[in-house]
Structure 1
Amino acid sequence: MVSPGLLLLLLLLAGTRWLWGRWKLRSLRLPPLAPGFLHFLQPNLPIYLFDLTQKLGPVYRIRIGLQDVVVLNSNRTIKEALIQKWADFAGRPQIPYENLDLDLSLGDYSLTWKAHKKLSRSALMLGVRDSMEPLVEELAQEFCERMRAQAGAPVAIQKEFSLLTCSVICYLTFGDKVKAALLPLEPLPQALLTFAGLKLKFLPNPGLWKLKRFQENRDDIVREQLKLHKDSQVSGQWKDMIDYMLQGVEQQREGTDAGQLHEGHVHMSVVDLFIGGTETTATTLSWTVAFLLHHPEIQKRLQEELDLKLGPNGPNSQLLYKNRMQLPLLMATIAEVLRLRPVVPLALPHRTTRASSISGYDIPKDTIIIPNIQGANLDKTVWELPSKFCPGTREGSGTGEEEPQARLGRASRAICPRPTDRFLEPGKDLRTLSFGCGARVCLGEPLARLELFVVLARLLQAFTLLPPPDGTLPSLKPQNFTGVNLLIRPFQVRLQPRNLVPQDQGQNP
């Protein structure tokens, strides 16, 4: 038991250390400090933080306990920190997590982390590159067939998208759907994403034991797959990402000790792919369906574009991702949904590896930085009418600009109050900050973009999206932000099969 005298001494030492740290900062030009201590209790935290820019500007500090955290809320400031000065801001804060040194998403910046990311990215872009698109196409076709069996009936589309994206990751990592393992893996992504949130990392949470059981089940499945792959692998050949990464680890052992990897890194790469590649993509697909239900005129134009470019022959028509810009409205719609509803609206926190600066403000070493992706995607200096759903059109009319808090819940059918071409201008960059940027950019971005393109193209080619019989449209207001994901409220949709011309009566253009 700690004596009162020792406890008092510890408190004095902690207080002295804090005062010394504040005294050392006295000569620096720090970002302005937002008043208050309970910022993270706000129900719509990304929008709340963005609203603070009206008084404090795009760069400011908020206080969490005794620690100041710098929040970045604009395209310019986020790109300055994470792209122009990426080495200064590539670190991660130290958090209580047993596999932190093996985790790609949460691990700190180091030579080992760089080697780990390089191996994982190589496995995705080289190891399964040739099989990725045919696989997504095949699973998208199977998905449409399952939906055709429920034609006209209300469907909880989010769950169906979750099963689809989980199947994609299972195939890419395990070489099979692994149906027996699919169910225990399915609930993990959101639970683990919540665990990665600041609240669970720094505060006690009653769901921690349940999460621990999820982790144990997950790790048992991954360990079993690693063993199966080691027992069956053939040198120089690989059928999936695990094969590729295991052989990459073996080859690295023959080289230098710098950034040395081992089987534990392969294990955590698989975990990161399931966390970052299932519910995130499924949620974006669900948001897209919700927006199209509110904007049937956009859905109709998308179907006309698909029929014109791919022909009326349904699933047998050629659909290649490399030719995606032949479907400009589909690409613009995907970009606009990613802009308005980034699945991870607050990027995981960064840490400065050395003293730096942003927009003329001094940023000391070991400062925690939170990039507000949703704020950047609503930046008026970059986007005209940023709160409006405008994938790219010169049609439609509506009301004027809304306040940030109101615009998340507005379900207006209006596209834009005045003509605009958000993403349809020739040469327009379709990339937003929704996948992050710089050294910590989302590893699975290429796969996610491929899935969004193929699944939505096949879905809209085969079905017309309709509300349930009672006409209820899904809410465009996200669930309260409590973890990492910007989640959509549950809804149902009817998938009405389209009357396509039989294959022997039409030809592809």
Structure 2
Amino acid sequence: MAHVLTLLEHFPFTFLDACTVLVFVVTFVIAVRVLVKTKRPGTLPPLVPGGWPLLHHLPTLFRTDSRLQLDKWAREIGDVYHVRFFRGELCVVSGYEALKEMMEKEEFSTRNDDNVLAATEGGQDILLAPYGEVFKERRRFATSVFRRLGVKMGRGSIQDRIQEEACYICVKISGYGEQPFDVSADLTTAAGNIICALVFGKRFDYGDTRFQHLQTTMKNLGAEMVKWIYPFVTYIPKVQDPFKGLRFHAKKLHQFIREEIDRHRLNLDPENPRDFIDYCLLQLARQDGSGTWLNEDNMVYIILDLFIAGTDTTAATLTWALLYMILYPDVQQKVQAELDSVLGATKPSLAHRDQLPFTTATIMEAQRIRHVVPLMFGRKAAKLTSLRGFDIAEGTFLIPNLRSVHMDPAAWPDPEVFDPSRFLDGDGKVVNNPPSFLPFSTGRRNCLGEQLAKMELFLLFSTILQHFALKLPEGAPTPSTEGTFKSLSMGPAPFQLCAVPR
């Protein structure tokens, strides 16, 4: 210390010196930014200009709605651009054509996040598994089992199970006696029960404490995952063990699933498999330990995928659809008039879809205007690859910005207006596979449960609207249409409605 004081006496540090050092540091940072920018080859996607030292663009994303900011940059810079924050650099992909090109390329088909995979021992499932032969085998197997369990049209369809659940939720709604209630929890239970019917071969009562605990744990796991899969939505700096919550909730869910697997082993009938677990156990027996793409750990992770991807997303979409029925009572009345005209007292079935075009279009418009996954799971470039004329380096992390597709004013005039007629042609029929509409993604990793989700959305939505007129509670404020991330899906902020029997 004495040496330091002696040195300061010989070289006094004045206020002017402090200013000089500060100017030097600022100049150095600016110079580095300029040099880095000028050295970027012209074939790389453009970098978002501006930003703060070290934090780069993170403060801008915090100050505003990050989803709107990403769209704004896309309009100003282009459909493919880079954004920086102190964890690194990401490539954001927006617009229908760019997203379609990206998701159809094998080089961009690995969907994972190293942090999440390391924390949860992931990569053993379908949802986050690296793209390759193992992923393809697991996906083919799951798709085949889904068909055998009735996720299809015609004989042997799972329609009966969904119609049964639709009746249960109507009974539950009736129990509120026209008093205000939050419908989102009941919709989550309904969607979860349909997955349970597929996976476990049974449903749970709405008040079942074990099932409620399962749903709460799934929601908590999703809330932890969103922090690391969507760095723009929620970002928490790494402190101590940032994945403690992720591992904790995943372990609880694994335990629940393993208990169900053990129960199935006790009464497995190889000639009459009942559900997804039975088919998995039979596949394990056929492999006789020699398989490389399915083991019991894989079973647990794949089943967890089915719950994560098939419960929260469907429930959030239905919640948005019912919210917009309240906000647009004229649309609700038109849906109900169509249901009354075609069905009368008959319960809705999948065979009625072609006869109920406005009802179908209303569901599609709910999927468009508030897509529950506006920023999809990130992708990693497997090797140096071209995208929209730009070079994407191996290992680059890409964020697919789906909101930019569904809210593109060039494809959807007045995109914030809820208008089901967008999905009807001049003859009043549903426009199938319209461009700029990707509710289930596309390409090599499109949603595994797309067919099941379409069946659920149609049957649950039409059954509820057939039996109830939905309205805001007397004197209640108009609910917000700004979504919130409570889990992996974006749902409405909490609101209440009243359901009046029709």
**Interval containing the TM-score (normalised by the shorter chain):** 0.7 to 0.9
Q: What residue in structure 1 maps to residue 144 of structure 2?
A: 122
Q: What residue in structure 2 maps to residue 177 of structure 1?
A: 203
Picking from 321, 324, 343, the partner of 2:353 is 324
The CA deviation at 1:236 is 3.3
Q: Deviations over 1:137-183 (max 9, x none)?
A: 00111111121222311111111111211222222211112545302
Q: Distance in 2 between matches of 1:26 and 1:337?
A: 41
What does 1:199-214 align with in structure 2 at a 5 Å threshold? 199=231, 203-204=237-238, 208-214=243-249
**Max radius of gyration: which structure?**
2
Q: Deviations over 1:282-318 (max 9, x none)?
A: 111111111111110000000000011112x2xxx15
Picking from 97, 113, 123, the partner of 2:119 is 97
1:261 aligns with 2:275: no
Q: Deviations over 1:470-504 (max 9, x none)?
A: 2433211223x586322211111110001xxxxxx
The CA deviation at 1:381 is 3.2
Q: What residue in structure 2 maps to residue 147 of structure 1?
A: 173
Q: What residue in structure 1 maps to residue 393 of structure 2?
A: 364
Letter in 2 for 1:105: L
Q: Deviations over 1:105-152 (max 9, x none)?
A: 222112212211222222223234335211110011111112122231
Q: Is the 8 A contact 2:218 2:249 kept in 1?
A: no
The alignment partner of 2:159 has SS state of helix
1:279 aligns with 2:312: yes
The alignment partner of 1:335 has SS state of helix
Q: Distance in 2 between matches of 1:285 and 1:342?
A: 11
Give the percent of matched residue pairs that are identical in Structure 1 and Structure 2. Answer: 27
The CA deviation at 1:439 is 1.6
Q: What residue in structure 1 maps to residue 27 of structure 2?
A: none
Picking from 267, 279, 285, the partner of 1:232 is 267
Q: What residue in structure 2 maps to residue 429 of structure 1?
A: 432
Cα distance change, pair 328–302 in 1 and its aligned pair in 2 (3 A)? same
Q: Deviations over 1:305-356 (max 9, x none)?
A: 0011112x2xxx1532143121111111111111111111100000111221
Q: Distance in 2 between matches of 1:283 and 1:289?
A: 10
| Unaligned ranges ≥5, structure 1 | 1-18, 393-420, 499-509
Letter in 1 for 2:501: P
Q: Is the 8 A contact 1:328 1:424 kept in 2?
A: no
What does 1:27-176 align with in structure 2 at a 5 Å threshold? 27=41, 29-35=43-49, 36=51, 37=56, 38=58, 41=62, 44-65=65-86, 67-83=88-104, 85-95=105-115, 96-129=118-151, 130-176=156-202
Q: Is the 8 A contact 2:383 2:393 kept in 1?
A: yes
- After TM superposition, the structure 1 stretch with the greater mean CA deviation from structure 2, 267-276 or 40-49, is 40-49
Letter in 2 for 1:63: R
| Unaligned ranges ≥5, structure 2 | 1-32
| RMSD between superposed Cα atoms in Å | 2.6
Q: What residue in structure 2 maps to residue 463 of structure 1?
A: 468
Q: Distance in 2 between matches of 1:253 and 1:87?
A: 33
Cα distance change, pair 251–43 in 1 and its aligned pair in 2 (3 A)? farther
Cα distance change, pair 324–269 in 1 and its aligned pair in 2 (3 A)? same
Q: Is the 8 A contact 2:119 2:247 kept in 1?
A: no
Q: Deviations over 1:165-216 (max 9, x none)?
A: 1222222211112545302211123322222222489843788544443323
Cα distance change, pair 192–216 in 1 and its aligned pair in 2 (3 A)? same
Q: Is the 8 A contact 1:88 1:355 kept in 2?
A: no
What does 1:329-478 align with in structure 2 at a 5 Å threshold? 329-392=358-421, 421-425=422-426, 426=429, 428-430=431-433, 432-478=437-483
Q: Distance in 1 between matches of 2:196 and 2:111?
A: 30
Letter in 1 for 2:266: D
The CA deviation at 1:43 is 5.4
Cα distance change, pair 52–26 in 1 and its aligned pair in 2 (3 A)? closer
Cα distance change, pair 252–180 in 1 and its aligned pair in 2 (3 A)? farther
Q: Distance in 1 between matches of 2:199 and 2:87?
A: 42
Aligned pairs, how many? 442
Q: What residue in structure 2 maps to residue 12 of structure 1?
A: none
Q: Distance in 1 between matches of 2:393 and 2:169?
A: 50
Q: What residue in structure 1 maps to residue 11 of structure 2?
A: none
The CA deviation at 1:249 is 3.2
Q: Distance in 2 between matches of 1:188 and 1:319?
A: 33
Q: What residue in structure 2 maps to residue 401 of structure 1?
A: none
The CA deviation at 1:270 is 1.1
Q: Distance in 2 between matches of 1:336 and 1:274?
A: 25
TM-score (norm 1): 0.81
Q: Deviations over 1:247-282 (max 9, x none)?
A: 223334587x5x531111111111111111112111
Letter in 1 for 2:82: R
Q: Distance in 2 between matches of 1:43 and 1:188?
A: 30
Q: Distance in 1 between matches of 2:293 and 2:342?
A: 49
The alignment partner of 1:474 has SS state of coil
Q: Distance in 1 between matches of 2:340 and 2:244?
A: 51
Q: Is the 8 A contact 1:144 1:459 kept in 2?
A: yes
- After TM superposition, the structure 1 stretch with the greater mean CA deviation from structure 2, 484-493 or 91-100, is 91-100
